[in-house]
Amino acid sequence: MILVMGTFRLPTASFEAAAPLMRKVIEATRAEDGCLAYAYSHDALDPELIHVSEQWSDRAAIDAHFKTAHMATWAEERKALGLSERNIRVYESDEGVAV
């Protein structure tokens, strides 16, 4: 299994414009083969910090994800929104255990 975890910053003034764009990329990504989970969430203590969490079946699925048209579009859209300090990491993992 592949886990993707990270953060990016989005100016508060951009949230209204960003919301439908993020929704579009989230919905398209969740429909991809091999996508088990994909989410963005606001940090409770830092209003401009967005957390990214993803779960993929395997490396081939995430490699294909990075080549999709909706990800290319999102890469362009996020520049215009002032997205910054993007810090995303990819990890290989097992299925984990419930705690």
Which three-class secondary structure state does DSSP give residue 90? strand
Helices of type H across 4-55:
15-30
- pLDDT bin (cut points 50, 70, 90) of residue 96 is confident
Four-way CATH pick for 2-92: 3.90.1580.10, 3.30.479.10, 1.10.1200.120, 3.30.70.100: 3.30.70.100
CB-based contact 57:36 (threshold 8 Å) = yes
Output DSSP code: residue 45: S
Largest CA distance in the chain: 40
- pLDDT bin (cut points 50, 70, 90) of residue 98 is confident
pTM: 0.90
Domain ranges of the chain: 2-92
pLDDT at 95 over 90: no
